[in-house]
């Protein structure tokens, strides 16, 4: 990653480094009557825990997929880590996805015929990283699922499966962790545990971009909440303390926050 290409700035007097910059993004799917994204510009600084919040169909997943290099915008540019994804060929883009992005999905997407540890190690094997198994076991330890390393996903609870998916997303030490409704398929307790883990990862320096339709979840855990509606950003609030009650968060629409 070319750190020299980053724009440096200040946030609350602290030196910050830009990791993601979207400029005038539109996305019209083939056959789509209206645009999924209609002129989105935003930046994410290194180390931020940002939630993109909005109702179903507002364009959140589309946004995340563009940042992950899984899809391309109709117009506009996506810069991640100083690189313009639109100017990358297929092979560099695949390397970028493998090395710089960790992706956590709502429904885990674990491979059923591989054990937990084998699932976690897939991205490292694709990269050819030495010492991956030790790091994989460390991650399972950190995420408090070391005891299930040799089990198969079907024998785990949803919360455990999501923690395996998080370990897999982190195995290559990505600069950006993307999470698309990571608690959407979990009960409240497991969902809270997953959000706690994300907060701990953020505290240890991980940049996280989370997509959710759940205003409570966004305002309780993320340090910044970007609200989207009909493919447009309608609000962008940095919260000084992520532990604040949603009702205390100014600029987040009250009917969504409660």
> Interface residues with ligand ADP (CB under 6 A)?
29, 32, 36, 54, 56-62
Q: How far is the CB of 33 from ligand ADP (least distance, A)?
A: 8
Give the contacts of 71 (CB within 8 A, at least 6 positions apart).
Answer: 27, 62, 65
Cβ nearer to ligand ADP, comparing 58 with 162:
58
Q: How far apart are CA 212 and CA 205, in angstroms?
A: 21
Cβ nearer to ligand ADP, comparing 34 with 241:
34
**Helices assigned H by DSSP within the chain:** 60-67, 90-100, 116-127, 132-142, 158-170, 188-203, 215-221, 254-257
Q: How far is the CB of 186 from ligand ADP (least distance, A)?
A: 18
Torsion angles phi and psi, residue 91, rounded to 5: -65, -45
Cβ nearer to ligand ADP, comparing 56 with 241:
56
User: Is 75 within 8 Å of 26 (Cβ atoms)?
Assistant: yes
Cβ nearer to ligand ADP, comparing 66 with 145:
66
Q: How far is the CB of 106 from ligand ADP (least distance, A)?
A: 10
Q: How far is the CB of 143 from ligand ADP (least distance, A)?
A: 26
Q: How far apart are CA 104 and CA 181, in angstroms?
A: 8
Cβ nearer to ligand ADP, comparing 56 with 204:
56
Q: How far is the CB of 209 from ligand ADP (least distance, A)?
A: 13
Q: How far apart are CA 214 and CA 165, in angstroms?
A: 21
**How many Cβ atoms from other residues are within 10 Å of residue 214's Cβ?**
15
């Amino acid at each position: 990653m070319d750190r020299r290409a980053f724009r440096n700035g200040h946030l609350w007097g602290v030196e910050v480094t830009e990791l993601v910059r979207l400029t005038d993004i539109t996305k019209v799917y083939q056959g789509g009557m209206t645009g999924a994204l209609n002129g989105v510009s935003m930046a994410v600084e290194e180390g931020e825990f940002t939630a993109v919040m909005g109702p179903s169909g507002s364009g959140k997943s589309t946004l995340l997929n563009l940042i992950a290099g899984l899809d391309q915008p109709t117009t506009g540019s996506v810069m991640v880590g100083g690189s313009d994804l639109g100017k990358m060929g297929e092979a560099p883009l695949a390397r970028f996805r493998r090395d710089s992005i960790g992706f956590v999905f709502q429904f885990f997407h674990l491979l059923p015929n591989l054990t937990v540890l084998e699932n976690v190690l897939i991205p490292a094997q694709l990269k050819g990283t030495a010492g991956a198994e030790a790091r994989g076991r460390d991650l399972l330890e950190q995420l408090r699922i070391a005891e299930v390393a040799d089990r198969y996903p079907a024998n785990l609870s949803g919360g455990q499966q999501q923690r395996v998916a998080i370990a897999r997303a982190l195995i290559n030490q990505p600069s950006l962790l993307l999470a698309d409704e990571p608690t959407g398929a979990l009960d409240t307790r497991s969902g809270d545990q997953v959000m706690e883990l994300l907060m701990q990862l953020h505290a240890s320096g991980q940049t996280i971009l989370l997509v959710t339709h759940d205003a409570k979840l966004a305002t309780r855990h993320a340090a910044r909440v970007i609200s989207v509606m009909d493919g447009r950003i309608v609000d962008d609030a940095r919260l000084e303390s992520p532990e604040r009650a949603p009702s205390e968060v100014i600029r987040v629409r009250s009917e969504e926050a409660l």
